[in-house]
Amino acid sequence: MSRRDAQEAILSAALRRAAAAAPAGVVVLDLDSTLLDNRPRQARILQDYGRVAGVPALLDARPEHWEGWDLRVALRNAGLSPSEVAAHAGPARRFWADWFFTNAYCRLDAAIAGAGDFVRALARSGAVIAYVTGRPSSMREGTLHVFRREGFPAPDGAGAHLVMKDDLSLGDDAWKELAATRVERLGPVVAAFDNEPAHVNLYARRWPRALVVHLATDHSGRPIAPLPGIPAIADFRGELSDAAASATAGAP
């Protein structure tokens, strides 16, 4: 089976599980680097830092310069020399921290390939959609702007919910643990998608009967591997037919 065929099989299995558990089953979906590509936001922040700091090379910073979350790598890929990277890494990081978690910049995010189609298929299947993100609740406006532009089902408090971090003292791992408790009040979790190995591992342990899927996009860089048996996909592209979404039997 090719990698693309395997990916389609995973997505179809998630749809079957969602349909079989409808209207009670919950599908958990992370945002950054799972449903949404925040590299356009990252690139614009580097461009604006370049304007402020007088670094012409950064005016041409592009999303593909980000190969993960290491700012130094992005600076190098944008054309800075090793000495320039060393000089600007600290100031650029502080500029990044001031602007990354803002509505103005997160509006630049784009959907991961196929993500909109997949989440709409989940909605048609009757699943309860739980967008679970480490974004602070102050980013709700910009997040909803991207949802509307990319065609994601709107969080209405019934068929779709947006669970955002409301305690900024919590790290992402502790927040995802707390958020999982909140999600469980919505119904039984039948599938969950996240790009962070630590978080898919948390979900797999917490919901052993759910289909937990790792998005092999990027992550925080910690030396943590997904648990054995957790499948991975590169994005959400696949032949997602209404027949797959409405199937109520044969879920693995």
> Tokens in use for 64?
């593909």
Q: Give pLDDT, residue 232.
A: 97
Is the domain of 32 the same as that of 66? Answer: no
**pLDDT tens digits for 202-218?**
999 999 999 999 999 98
Please list the pLDDT of the chain residue by residue as tens digits (252 residues).
Answer: 788 889 999 999 999 999 999 999 999 999 999 999 999 999 999 999 999 999 999 999 999 999 888 999 999 999 999 999 999 999 999 999 999 999 999 999 999 999 999 999 999 999 999 999 999 999 999 999 999 999 999 999 999 999 999 988 899 999 999 999 999 999 999 999 999 999 999 999 999 999 999 999 988 878 899 999 999 999 999 876 444 444 433 333
**pLDDT tens digits for 217-234?**
988 878 899 999 999 999
Is the domain of 98 the same as that of 165? Answer: no
Pairing of strands 36-37, 110-111: antiparallel
Give exposure, 102-122, as e/b (b: 16+ Cβ within 10 Å). beebbbbbbbbebbbbbbbbb
Q: Is 251 inside any structural domain?
A: no
Is the domain of 151 the same as that of 216? Answer: yes
Range of the domain at 55: 39-106
- Of 64, 85, 106, the one marking the end of a domain is 106
Minimal CA–CA distance to 130: which of 29, 205, 46, 19?
29
Is the domain of 32 the same as that of 152? Answer: yes
**pLDDT tens digits for 79-101?**
999 999 999 999 999 999 999 99
